[in-house]
Structure 1
Amino acid sequence: MNPLSLPLLILFEHYKGVWDDYFEAIYEVFHQDFVLSKPVFRGKRLGLKRYPEYDGKSATFWHMISTGDQEDERVPDIRRCERIAWPKPIIDNCDEPCLKVWAEPKGKNQRIHIWFENENYLVVLDDRGNYILPWTAFYIQEEHKKKKYNKRWERYK
């Protein structure tokens, strides 16, 4: 059962392979969803991690469209870029039965995971007490990683 309808993927080929045009298009979606709309998660406002900025864009945006262990060496990930319109509706509909939501301690904060298993997509939020930061969001292709997140969900339940 999947009552959650997500926006269509934003495909690179629709921008004729011009990265700058694609980058601006996906940023516009992020800007609309997380800067202009002032979203909330279960009654708590969402902020943005601004720094370090890249190309004048917030660290939150960069984490949602790129991958890499070193902050200054992250590279764009096309699967993340294509799905940039997904985090907000997933957050907005976090209580839908098709989503698995759990929290885990991370330092002095809680990391909230919203796992849309049907779409192999995970949204991660960082609960800072008075507010929440959208931390990252990504598509999961590898079976072992899907199993890992399901085990974490099972532990939480």
Structure 2
Amino acid sequence: MYIEPDRLPDLRRCERLPWIKPLIEHPAEVETLAWDYEEGDQTIKTYVWIKDYDFVVIMKKYPDGQRRLITSFYVDSAYTKQDFERKYANRT
């Protein structure tokens, strides 16, 4: 069995955890970008991104329209920001 070494918590992510519920409940606010994107494995994920605050919530969308939270995190790399911009431009 693999035991992961101790990880330090990402304090920027921890500070933003209380934002998850409001983002899920109000994704159409002016400062957020919210979209569905079909991934390469044909799953549809919903992204809710507060671009100005570098925070994203990602949910899996099911055929019945329900969504389940997958993850949320502080976006700290230029590559990840570019990837989200590309996915937003190609949203479904």
Do the structures match in fold with TM over 0.5? Answer: yes
Partners in 2 of 1:86 and 1:73 — Cα distance? 28
2:47 to 97, 101, 113: 113
CA distance in 1, matches of 2:55, 2:72: 7
Greater strand share, 1 or 2? Answer: 2
1:135 alignment counterpart: 70
Could you tell me how far apart the structure 2 residues matched to 1:73 and 1:124 are? 24
1:99 aligned residue: 32
Identity in percent: 23
| Mapped partners of 1:124, 1:109: distance in 2 | 12
Q: Which residues of structure 1 form unaligned runs of 5+?
A: 1-71
Larger gyration radius, structure 1 or structure 2: 1
SS in 2 for 1:129: coil
Q: Determine which structure has the larger helix proportion and give its number.
A: 1
Alignment correspondent of 2:23: 90
Which of residues 85, 88, 92 is equivalent to 1:150? 85
Shift of 1:108: 5.0
Tell me how many residue pairs correspond in the alignment. 86
Give ranges in structure 2 of 5+ residues lacking alignment: none
Cα distance, 1:108–1:156 mapped onto 2, change above 3 Å: closer
User: Partners in 2 of 1:153 and 1:93 — Cα distance?
Assistant: 18
TM-score (norm 1): 0.47
What is the CA–CA distance in structure 1 between the aligned matches of 2:82 and 2:45, rounded to whole Å? Answer: 19
CA RMSD of aligned residues (A): 2.2
